[in-house]
Structure 1
């Protein structure tokens, strides 16, 4: 199975570079502002317009920022504003604290017209009950895992592979797409192929330094090949 590549970008230039390098999903976020740092709606709309003009086959997502679930009214306001920019999916984080607030937020998100992708922040593990609750809403096209503490290693280093495999299988059984993200590295490609999520999200692994540094299209191209073929070619070999 080929794992589709999601690349997070912060401006139109990076978006075009990622699309040209083979990214399947372009994710609009501000990496300097947290795990799901949001871009201004005006910039989101600009990037969407640029991509729609030349890359109609690329799926576009955007985040609403790192907000706790109890700020439901503000989250829904941001979801509406981001959806109005023309993205395909709006990503909303679900943080591990306050499960009751997370369930209430899922109910509210399921009732809104936007295509919302809940992102479970999994630094401390995966909450199977919350995954089941989200799937039971039958309203979300995909569920993702991500991490907030980016400096503590890849998601695949921080959670046992059987836990990640169980998440992917459960989401697939529930009829949704499964996504994995969280400081993923190029060397995670073969393990990701074995886990078989529908897509995997990257930022730091495709920049010229830290995750807030500029995008490196060479790394995007190499990562795309690794996800497709499971190779382990050195980054320096990227064209």
Structure 2
């Protein structure tokens, strides 16, 4: 009788690539449950905790096994983003506080500098000028010329080689541009890329429900988002 050939038992050595692959694929009952679940529900998307509840397994163990299956390409990890309304309101409150907070010592010194508007009747009423580095609120009844005054201030600022960011809430930017032309300057001259000194932020389109054609536009009721847009415009 010829001698028997001593053949390998077929056992995989631990740590070999094939063994690692099999371990990642079917190394636990949870993985088997996961594979069965997704075979039966191929369109399912959920958090690890949600999947663990569905297959009645420990979330920590499920998380580890899901990571292995993601690494193998059997599962795809999807990033989800949701709006944090509480954080948004918190940021809006913080922005409001900063806008109305009293200035520091250095800011007080800077705000003491004043300048004339260049508008005759206004300079007569304000012979010492207005604080040049402060937030100035212009108030008045409807149709008393607030927007016209603001447009005149913008025109005078551009004549002085100042940079201007105009957030339009009461009219379309094109209407403001037309008013500026009637006051003697061509706004497009100051909106040329590379040496831009006039930037519009269109808030009015949001209020009337139309799509803006401006580079910058935002809903004025979302203060946190609007502040980001203003910062971008200021960096122009």
TM-score by length of 1: 0.30
Larger RCO: 1 or 2 (CA < 8 Å, sep 6+): 1
TM-score by length of 2: 0.30
Tell me which structure has the larger Cα radius of gyration.
2
Greater fraction of residues in helix: 2
Greater fraction of residues in strand: 1
